[in-house]
C-alpha cells in the first residue's frame, strides 16, 4: 500500500473514532498500518544512508518525518480503540 493510501486509511479510522463508530475499527487493522509505516520508515532510513546528494537527503528526511508522525498518530488511535473496546 502506498504511503498516501496508508495515511488516507488512518484518517478514515480517525474519522470513525470521532463519529463514535469505533466498533467498526479492529485493532489488527491499525496494527497492520503501524507495521507498514514502520517498514516504510526503515526503508527511508536505508535510502537516507545511501543518498549522496544533499537535496535528496532533505527530501528523504522530510518523508521520514511525515512517516514518524503518522506512526505516532496510529499508535494513539490504537490506544483509543483499546480503551473503547
User: 11-60 pLDDT, tens per residue?
Assistant: 999 999 899 888 889 999 999 999 999 999 999 999 999 999 999 999 99
Residue 62, pLDDT score: 96
Q: How many domains are contained in the chain?
A: 1
| Domain region containing 15 | 3-84
Do 61 and 31 meet the contact criterion of CB atoms below 8 Å apart?
A: no
Contact 16/25 with Cβ under 8 angstroms? yes
As a whole number of angstroms, the distance between CA 13 and CA 24 comes to 9
Buried b or exposed e, range 9-21, using 16+ CB within 10 angstroms: bbeebbebbeeee
85: confidence class by pLDDT, cuts 50, 70, 90: confident
Write down the pLDDT at residue 48: 96
pTM of the model: 0.90
pLDDT at 83: 87
Helix axes 3-18, 54-84, angle to 10 degrees: 30
Amino acid at each position: 500500500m502506498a504511503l498516501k493510501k496508508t495515511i488516507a486509511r488512518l484518517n478514515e479510522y480517525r474519522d470513525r473514532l470521532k463519529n463514535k463508530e469505533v466498533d467498526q475499527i479492529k485493532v489488527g487493522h491499525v496494527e497492520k498500518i503501524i507495521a507498514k509505516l514502520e517498514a516504510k520508515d526503515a526503508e527511508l532510513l536505508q535510502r537516507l544512508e545511501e543518498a549522496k546528494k544533499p537535496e535528496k537527503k532533505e527530501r528523504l528526511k522530510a518523508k521520514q518525518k511525515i512517516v514518524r508522525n503518522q506512526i505516532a498518530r496510529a499508535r494513539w488511535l490504537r490506544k483509543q480503540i483499546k480503551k473503547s473496546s
